[in-house]
């Protein structure tokens, strides 16, 4: 077995892992990424898994040298948002114009972002090892590095970053405790052709059985839908023909974009909230979905992850990674900052989820009032738009 010393090992080559690897390599660090999949290929077809990226997230991608390529290839910028409740007069609309911005966000296919981030990482000098055969051996201590076994190679690193998703093996190895609950919903995704153009508007309707989002794509007549449906409804929707499924989308959205036609496969994934109560141990630290997963109803999951990227890179700038005491101080600061942001977002998602997931007439009246106030008062609407943009 051969031994290799490096500064940082990032486990996970998704958007968050590759962004971290690139930015840390730009700081002059030696970085290795472990990823089981090949570099995603670019295709003509629109992918099903997309993320709504705010301005701060796009800035991270720009720093990596990837945003310019992503934007040139294919993105779906949106300049306004419409949110309404199917069973009450509650609604709110706000636009980029209200905050003097070009747009509020952009819908990006995850595999497109990962394709170009992979290029950026390699150009920055990151070594990407494609393997599903790795095992953490040690979390390290004051006098020794962390170790991970990769095939016939033993990697020694001053820091291991777990960016390996919601079922993080890194988190499990470090025995970092999590809090979680199952939403008993599935996120159903598909691409839908609409009779009327979406005009760059992100739309979401709250239904008693879960929110339905219609997100603009580069094609003016195709929206990417994310339907967070309670399990009984999800099972029923997944058993429908594409024609019947599209008709359900059309009906539940109030025909806001006219007749609908399904132009892709229909996929689903379970929805679960979880967050790590502790984000690091010795020379191991978490980022992205390994540290937190939230309900997709506001599309903030990826933005939280890119927030982790910014904060962790800021905290590690110029730090002697070999000195565990100094490293721990900065990992503590990272944890404090990101846990606070994550917990606020989780609380907000829970408020929306519980507040709109009921047919109680009192609650329905209150949420109609809650939406009416910001829709009439420009300063509050402006603040909501700034939060969506990521400029708060």
pTM, two decimals, is 0.90
Q: Which domains does the chain have, with CATH numbers?
A: 2-46+110-180+272-352 (3.50.50.60), 69-107+184-271+359-389 (3.30.9.10)
Burial class of residue 51, CB neighbours in 10 A (0-12, 13-18, 19+): buried
CA–CA gap between residue 180 and residue 170 (Å, rounded) = 17
Q: Would you say 288 and 275 are in contact if contact means Cβ atoms under 8 Å apart?
A: no
Nearest to 299 by CA among 54, 70, 55, 118: 54
One digit per residue, pLDDT tens: the chain, 392 residues? 899 999 999 999 999 999 999 999 999 999 999 999 999 999 999 999 999 999 899 999 999 999 999 999 999 999 988 888 887 766 777 787 776 778 888 999 999 999 999 999 999 999 999 998 899 999 999 999 999 999 889 999 999 999 999 999 999 999 999 998 888 889 999 999 999 999 999 998 988 888 899 999 999 999 999 999 999 999 999 999 999 999 999 999 999 999 999 999 999 999 888 989 999 999 999 999 999 988 776 567 899 999 999 999 999 999 999 999 999 999 999 999 999 888 877 766 665 555 554 455 544 554 555 555 555 555 545 555 545 444 44
Q: Would you say 238 and 172 are in contact if contact means Cβ atoms under 8 Å apart?
A: no
Tokens found for residue 270: 């379970």
CA–CA gap between residue 387 and residue 392 (Å, rounded) = 5
């Amino acid at each position: 077995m051969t031994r290799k010393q490096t500064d940082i090992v990032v486990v996970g080559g998704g958007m968050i892992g590759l962004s971290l690897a690139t930015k840390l390599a730009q700081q002059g660090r030696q970085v290795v990424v472990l990823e089981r999949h090949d570099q995603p290929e670019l295709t003509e077809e629109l992918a099903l898994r997309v993320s709504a990226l705010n301005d701060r997230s796009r800035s991270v991608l720009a720093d990596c040298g990837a945003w310019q390529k992503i934007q040139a290839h294919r993105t779906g910028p949106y300049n306004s948002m419409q949110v309404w409740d199917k069973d009450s007069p509650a609604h709110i609309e706000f636009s980029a114009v209200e905050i003097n911005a070009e747009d509020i966000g952009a819908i990006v296919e995850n595999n497109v972002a990962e394709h170009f981030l992979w290029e950026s990482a390699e150009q920055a000098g990151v070594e990407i090892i494609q393997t599903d055969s790795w095992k953490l051996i040690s979390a390290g201590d004051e006098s020794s590095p962390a170790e991970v076994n990769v095939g016939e190679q033993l990697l020694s690193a001053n820091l291991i970053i777990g960016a390996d998703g919601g079922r993080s093996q890194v988190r499990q190895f470090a025995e970092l405790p999590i809090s979680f609950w199952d939403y008993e919903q599935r996120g159903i995704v598909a691409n839908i052709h609409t009779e009327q153009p979406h005009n760059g508007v992100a739309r979401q309707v709250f239904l008693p059985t879960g929110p339905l989002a219609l997100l603009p794509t580069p094609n003016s007549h195709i929206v990417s839908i994310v339907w967070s449906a309670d399990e009984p409804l999800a099972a029923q929707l997944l058993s429908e023909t594409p024609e019947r499924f599209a008709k359900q989308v059309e009906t539940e959205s109030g025909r806001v974009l006219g007749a609908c036609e399904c132009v892709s496969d229909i996929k689903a994934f379970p929805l679960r909230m979880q967050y790590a109560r502790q984000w690091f141990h010795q020379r191991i630290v978490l980022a992205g979905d390994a540290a937190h997963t939230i309900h997709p109803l506001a599309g903030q999951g990826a933005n939280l992850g890119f927030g982790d990227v910014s904060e962790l890179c800021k905290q590690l700038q110029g730090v002697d990674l070999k000195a565990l005491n100094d490293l721990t101080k900065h990992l503590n600061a990272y944890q404090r900052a990101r846990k606070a942001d994550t917990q606020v977002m989780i609380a907000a998602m829970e408020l929306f989820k519980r507040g709109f997931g009921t047919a109680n007439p009192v609650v329905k009246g209150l949420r109609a009032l809650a939406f009416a106030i910001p829709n009439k008062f420009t300063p509050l609407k402006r603040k909501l738009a700034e939060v969506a943009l990521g400029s708060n």
